[in-house]
Structure 1
Amino acid sequence: MGKCPFSFLHGLTSRNASKEALANHSIDRHDYNHTANASYHTLEGHDELNEQMRMIDLSEEDLSLLRQMKPIVEKKIDYITDQFYNTVLGVSKLEAIILEHSSIERLKKTLREHIIEIFNGDINEQYIAKRLAIAKIHKRVGLEPKWYLSAFQNLQNVFITVIYNEMNEDSERLKVVQTVTKLLNLEQQLVLEAYEKENIREKEEQYLAVKNELKQKIAEFSGELVDLSIDTNAAVEQLVASSNEVNNTFRRTAASALESQGMATEGHGHLGSLTDQISLIYESTHAMERSINELSSSSKQIQKIVAAVQDIADQTKILSLNATIEAARAGVHGKGFSVVAGEVSRLAEDTKNTVVRIGELTHQSGSLTIQVVDEIRKVQELTKSGKVQSIETSQLFSDIVNSMQTSTQEIVAVEEEIKVLIQTIEGIGTTTAQTAASAEYFKSATENL
């Protein structure tokens, strides 16, 4: 397992550090009383880090002072690490991280080595590399910077307390506190900068992964959009063609409807003329019936005259017979009357025969007249029925004309709506084509991400 997340924390001396230790490792004032010409530690190829150390005033004298303090730190290292982990283990979240990734004893050992190494006073490539490794470990195990800074602040408080308890002169205390604070600050700078770089690296990796995934998804989506646009465009073209065909059919239907409407109107006019003719026929049959009735009346009068003439002929014959009888009685004197009576008798017989013939003809004419009247009445009934049917047919034609006129108007309106629909579909087709072009451009753009 890697180093403890808190292996960067350091300790100093205990409250009970012996007078002898302080005497053996007393700090020479000359070593840390700096002047304006104090020399600063520099690392080749680390210009920015050198500027950081100059900015916090970390000099070679400070590093020398750390080396002088090392024996005291080595002697009190167990106390320092125990105090540190007592504080850290008081936070349940930090204790859970430690127990998940290592053990307390192992981390204490690592911390001891790390603190003693700090007081070697050697800030070099190896020193920097270890701090960067510590930051990566902190990041990997999920230690947040706030806990790192909190632990550092706690350690700094321990250092200050120990320094003030173990040193007698304020000037010595101040110098040691400043040196330790500078060192802790440099540690924080290195680790937090590594934290930041690691975060940036992770974010760049996440961004790259998201970018690649997004690029792939966009490419897939663009491909699907292109295919969909092509299919949609083809469907729209087919729909436009079908709509044009329907429109042409509607135009033909509208033309046929208009033609049918004209024919129906013309038929309605002819039917009106037929109705008028039937009405005339109906009136003519009425007039014919009146004439036949008058003829029948005349025939009846002729029959009466024939009967009267027949009576006269009969009486004339009787008179002729009487005259013949009287002529016979007269003898020679009545012979002329006999001839006349014979002629009168013959005339009366001829008259009677003629009248009988006229009667027969008149009777036959009456019968025929009755038949003609019956036929005329039948024609009247048929004409009347035809007139009614003609009126009904005329009304039906009128309704057909009105219906066809309404249908024609509706067809014309539908034709206009279809024209608008075709224009709309063509607009959709244009938009779909533009969408397909945009999708192609979008796909090309994602490929260049």
Structure 2
Amino acid sequence: MGKCPFSFMHGVTSRNDNVESPAAQPMQANFMKSAADTFHTLDGHDELNEQMRMIDLTEEDLKLLRRTKPIVERNIDYITDQFYNSVLGVDKLEAIILEHSTIERLKKTLHEHIIEIFDGNVDDAYIAKRLLIANIHKRVGLEPKWYLSAFQNLQNVFIHVIYNETTNDDDRLLIVQTVTKLLNLEQQLVLEAYEKENIKEKEQQYQSVKNELKQKIAEFSGELIDLSIDTNAAVEQLVASSNEVNNTFQRTASSALESQGMAKNGREHLDNLTGQINRIYESTNEMELSVNELSNSSKQIQKIVAAVKDIADQTKILSLNATIEAARAGEHGRGFSVVAQEVSRLAEDTKSTVVRIGELTQKSGDLTGQVVEEIRKVQELTRSGKLQSIETSRLFTDIVDSMQSSTQEIVTVEEEIKILIQTIEGIGSTTAQTAASAEFFKSATDGL
């Protein structure tokens, strides 16, 4: 396994601040720095050199660390024990340690790391190792706040050890300042690496999200283009169908107008027919009156015929009497006999003629009765035809009114269809613009 991040964390707050370190004997040494100290620098690390200059890390500080190394070596077990006693008090940190390493192994690693700090060699290898530490911390999921907390605890332990190992306040202050500088530099290196890793991770996440977004946008744009194409085709089909419906409506409207005109003509013809039927009905009424008068005349003639027949019969009787009287008169009555015979013959002819007239008038009366009956039938049919004509005329009027209303509705629907076609064409134009926008959108995402 790789080194746990706590191998490189520097500090715990001592749980037994009143416990002295194993080597608690005061140390008598001169740790005063020279007035001619120079800042420590590294080739090719301009920014890092500025950082070391800002915290006032000098070559003399590194020499002081090397002179302090024996103090740390004598107290190394105490320092590592105090560090891990604090760290293991946090459940989350203990879980990370046990997942990636063991306590004994990490104590050994921390032991080596602390001694290495006091070698006083701040070079490329030293910097690379601190950057590696930061990468390990990041990989195992150690948050910067725990790293900083542990570092502060480690610094507190160093100060405690230094105060137990030295008696001169100036020496103590100088060593504490030097140790603090180096620990601060290490924190800068690790946190900077933390930040770079975070930025790199965020860039990777951003790139991943960006690529996924591009893919989704491209898919969406493609679907939108396909949908726009399908919609445009459907709109075109709808426009074509609407135009066809509009043409059909126009033809229907034209036929309705023509039918309306024909219905009006039919109603006019029916009105004319009704007038003719009315005139026929009136004529039949007048004819009935004339026939009735003719019938009455026939009856009068029959009476006259009967009277003439009676006269003829009486004349014949008188002629017979005259003949008889002429025969009695002998030679003197012969002329009367001739006259009587002529009168008798005239009476016969008159009677025969009157009988013939009577027969004709009887027949004429019968025919007149039949004519009257037929006239009555014609009157009944005419009356029925008149009623039917009136009803038909009314129906034609209703048809004309209905057709006029339907024609008006068809015209209204035609106008609405024209508006609908314009609207659909507007939708088609908008759909085409949407497709163009989707194509542009897709091209734009390809350029991301």
Q: Deviations over 1:182-224 (max 9, x none)?
A: 1221111111111110011011111111112222222222222
Match status 1:136 vs 2:135? yes
User: Contact (CA 8 Å) 2:281, 2:382: kept in 1 or not?
Assistant: yes
Shift of 1:356: 0.7
Moved more, 368-377 or 333-342: 333-342
Distance 2:29 2:285 in 1: 159
Alignment of 1:272-311 (within 5 A): 272-311=271-310
User: Contact (CA 8 Å) 2:320, 2:344: kept in 1 or not?
Assistant: yes
Match status 1:244 vs 2:243? yes
User: Contact (CA 8 Å) 1:285, 1:380: kept in 2 or not?
Assistant: yes
User: Contact (CA 8 Å) 2:239, 2:425: kept in 1 or not?
Assistant: yes
Match status 1:29 vs 2:34? no
Q: Deviations over 1:112-156 (max 9, x none)?
A: 111111111111111111111111111111111111111122222
TM-score (normalizing by structure 1): 0.95
User: Contact (CA 8 Å) 1:11, 1:73: kept in 2 or not?
Assistant: no
Alignment of 1:202-217 (within 5 A): 202-217=201-216
State the partner residue of 1:171.
170
Shift of 1:314: 1.2
State the partner residue of 2:5.
5
Distance 1:203 1:107 in 2: 30
Partner secondary structure for residue 335 of structure 1: helix
Shift of 1:444: 1.4
1:16–1:80 distance in 2 versus 1, CA, 3 Å: closer
Shift of 1:53: 1.0
Letter in 2 for 1:201: K
Distance 1:29 1:403 in 2: 122
User: Contact (CA 8 Å) 1:236, 1:426: kept in 2 or not?
Assistant: yes
User: Contact (CA 8 Å) 1:261, 1:404: kept in 2 or not?
Assistant: yes
Letter in 1 for 2:406: S
Shift of 1:419: 0.5
Shift of 1:330: 2.5
Partner secondary structure for residue 29 of structure 1: coil
Moved more, 329-338 or 125-134: 329-338
Moved more, 212-221 or 41-50: 212-221
User: Contact (CA 8 Å) 2:72, 2:115: kept in 1 or not?
Assistant: yes
Percent identical among aligned pairs is 79
Distance 1:214 1:58 in 2: 48
Alignment of 1:9-88 (within 5 A): 9-10=9-10, 15-18=20-23, 22-23=26-27, 26-30=28-32, 32=33, 35=35, 37-88=36-87
Shift of 1:303: 1.0
Distance 1:89 1:335 in 2: 195
User: Contact (CA 8 Å) 2:10, 2:153: kept in 1 or not?
Assistant: no
Distance 1:254 1:193 in 2: 85
Distance 1:253 1:276 in 2: 34
Partner secondary structure for residue 6 of structure 1: helix
1:228–1:27 distance in 2 versus 1, CA, 3 Å: farther
Distance 2:233 2:11 in 1: 79
1:244–1:439 distance in 2 versus 1, CA, 3 Å: same
Letter in 2 for 1:419: K
Shift of 1:262: 0.8
1:162–1:75 distance in 2 versus 1, CA, 3 Å: closer
Q: Unaligned stretches of 5+ in structure 2?
A: none
Q: Deviations over 1:218-259 (max 9, x none)?
A: 222222222222222222112211211111111111111111
Alignment of 1:21-420 (within 5 A): 22-23=26-27, 26-30=28-32, 32=33, 35=35, 37-420=36-419
Letter in 2 for 1:93: K
Distance 2:108 2:286 in 1: 146
User: Contact (CA 8 Å) 1:10, 1:80: kept in 2 or not?
Assistant: no
Shift of 1:93: 0.8
Distance 1:27 1:302 in 2: 188
1:11–1:232 distance in 2 versus 1, CA, 3 Å: closer
Distance 2:403 2:242 in 1: 24
Moved more, 220-229 or 10-19: 10-19
User: Contact (CA 8 Å) 1:17, 1:166: kept in 2 or not?
Assistant: no
User: Contact (CA 8 Å) 1:41, 1:53: kept in 2 or not?
Assistant: yes
User: Contact (CA 8 Å) 1:27, 1:68: kept in 2 or not?
Assistant: no
Shift of 1:163: 2.7
Letter in 2 for 1:415: E
Shift of 1:29: 3.5
1:17–1:168 distance in 2 versus 1, CA, 3 Å: farther
Shift of 1:171: 1.8
Distance 2:287 2:437 in 1: 91
Shift of 1:17: 4.2
Distance 2:408 2:42 in 1: 97
Shift of 1:19: 5.5
Q: Deviations over 1:328-357 (max 9, x none)?
A: 223233222222221211111111111111
User: Contact (CA 8 Å) 1:9, 1:115: kept in 2 or not?
Assistant: no
User: Contact (CA 8 Å) 2:31, 2:64: kept in 1 or not?
Assistant: no
